[in-house]
Amino acid sequence: MATLDRNDLETLRPDGRIRLRPAALLSPVPVVLVGCRGTTEATARPNLIAIAWTGTVCSDPPLVSVSIRKSRFSHLQVTESGEFTVNLVDASLLRAADLCGVKSGRDVDKFALCGLQAADSDRLRHAPTLAESPLTLECRVRSVAELGSHDQFLGEVVGVTVRPDLLGEDGRLSLDRANLVGYLHGEYWSLGRCLGFFGFSVAAPAVLSRRMKGRG
């Protein structure tokens, strides 16, 4: 487990809480595999990069962000093509995701290395989708913010694909069945039991009982 250096611990506040040095310790965060491909002879191979620094930015239009170091091969590929895909990771993909996080696309074909299949998108020209992913967001870059250690690519979601088994007969998306994983301070974790739903704190008892039946 990742630990904090003694130098990161600054002062003990009067209320007993320990003040740490500023750090991006937002947790847990999703584990995703970002698909990318460049447009030149040297960069046109489909590639995957494991990223935990991604997030929802806006719902209308649908926007997400991914943050990538300038030194990464994937940074060059996304910059060239103006596209990327965000592929959610389930437990069966976790080992491959970790491997994609420690290997460079400059040196290896990550799809081949991990035994994964790159699929073409009908919404994007270059960035591949990951056939084995439970759900994929297909994104076009709207803007790039140079922030420091990482550049943040803001992407508009122009397409979404999902495994058929994650849709109910009523067409409702059930990502709770996808066995997704999260990243928590240097470690991968599975998701736990359902503790509630949006608005459960003000829901009528009958609604609460119906919505939570078999979920807790």
Amino acid at 17: R
Query: Sign of dihedral through CA atoms 63, 68, 74, 76?
Result: positive
Q: Are strands 62-69 and 129-130 parallel, antiparallel or unpaired?
A: unpaired
91 vs 189: CA distance, rounded Å? 9
Return the biggest CA–CA distance within the chain: 61
CA gap 69, 25 in Å, rounded:
18
**HSE-CB for 153 with a 13 A CA cutoff:** 27
All domains of the chain in start order, with CATH:
25-212 (2.30.110.10)
Q: How far apart are CA 41 and CA 112, in angstroms?
A: 19
Lowest mean pLDDT, pick from 4-8, 124-128, 131-135, 169-173 = 4-8
Whole-number pLDDT of residue 107 = 92
Q: How many percent of the chain have pLDDT more than 90? A: 77
pLDDT 10s digits, 35-66: 999 999 999 999 999 998 999 999 999 999 99
